[in-house]
């Protein structure tokens, strides 16, 4: 998975990010238990047999926004907001033959939340 922006190489392979839930692999915690970073350490643990590839999600390329651009796109309705958790991010690794499984699951949660919400302007999904 990844965005449409590449680095110096056209194939984007010079821009690889990693998300995981391992406390022994460095990274910035972006939500509780979910970390971004630690590529070299993760690769070493997998090579040593001390971690499984399924414990990590790799992203090539990236998406980027200028100052205020993402906020404007969210306010304009271009994006759906949903809560994130470790299991949801890594769970899609279990369905490599079904690339739409992850997004279908997340959008289904979001639609169920909207149906039970009294405010149609609240698009954030609860942590479930």
44-100 pLDDT, tens digit per residue, is 999 999 999 989 988 777 777 889 999 999 999 998 888 777 887 777 655 666 666
Residue-wise pLDDT for 16-53, tens only, equals: 788 999 999 999 998 889 999 999 999 999 999 999 99
Residues 18 and 49: their CA atoms lie apart, in Å, by: 18
Rounded Cα distance between 125 and 109, Å, is 7
Give the full edge-to-edge strand order of the sheet including 16-20: 28-31, 34-36, 16-20, 56-60
| Statement: the pTM of the whole predicted model exceeds 0.85 | no
């Amino acid at each position: 998975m990844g965005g449409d922006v590449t680095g110096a190489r056209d194939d984007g392979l010079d821009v690889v990010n990693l998300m995981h839930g391992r406390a022994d692999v460095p990274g910035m915690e972006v939500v509780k238990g979910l970390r971004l970073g630690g590529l070299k350490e993760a690769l070493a643990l997998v090579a040593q047999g001390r971690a499984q590839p399924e414990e990590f999600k790799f992203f090539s390329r990236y998406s980027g926004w200028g100052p205020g651009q993402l906020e404007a796109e969210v306010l304009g309705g271009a994006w759906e907001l949903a809560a994130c958790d470790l299991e949801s991010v890594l769970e899609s690794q279990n369905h490599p033959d079904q690339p739409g499984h992850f997004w279908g699951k997340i959008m289904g949660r979001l639609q169920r939340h909207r149906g039970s919400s009294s405010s149609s302007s609240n698009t954030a999904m609860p942590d479930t």
